[in-house]
Amino acid sequence: MSTNDRTGVDTDRGKTVRTAAMAVGAVFLLVGILGFIPGITTDYSSMSFAGHSSDAKLLGIFQVSILHNIVHLLFGVVGLALARRTESAISYLIGGGVIYLVLWIYGLVTGDSSSANFVPVNTADDWLHFVLGLGMIGLGVLGRNAVRSSRAGAAGPSYG
């Protein structure tokens, strides 16, 4: 809900976090699509459904599989859907960030050629997951705090 203060400035603090969630979701959707495009994904013909044996790499860097690309597509669709409401946008960013930090740890503890590496992930994926996790949590927390501070200010001063 957007409200204007006396200066005419838009004070909808939730809009920023909704936009952030929408942008993150759109990027995941784009990455999921790009993972299926030969040339943007190198060694495309070696892509497998899942598992570490896929030598396909998005941008020649990030190991991908059909499952990995589908996860990106789903994560993007969920992000776009949850970006419609402030509370769900905050939950998407913080919850998604936690998921990506768990994926970072998963990638660190499973070897690149381990059968447990079914997603698959390589070292570049691991560190991208770390940055994504921190970034998403940071956006979600900043958005949540901005919404809380605008709600506290809207309630007026507290005298006791």
Splitting the chain (160 residues) into consecutive groups of 10 residues, what average pLDDT does each group show? 46 84 98 96 90 85 92 97 96 97 92 74 90 97 85 54
Q: Compute CA distances 34 → 39, 130, 139, 156, whole Å.
A: 9, 21, 25, 49
Q: What is the pLDDT of residue 53?
A: 75
- Rounded Cα distance between 66 and 30, Å, is 15
The CB-side HSE value for 149 (13 A sphere, CA atoms) comes to 8
Global pTM reads: 0.82
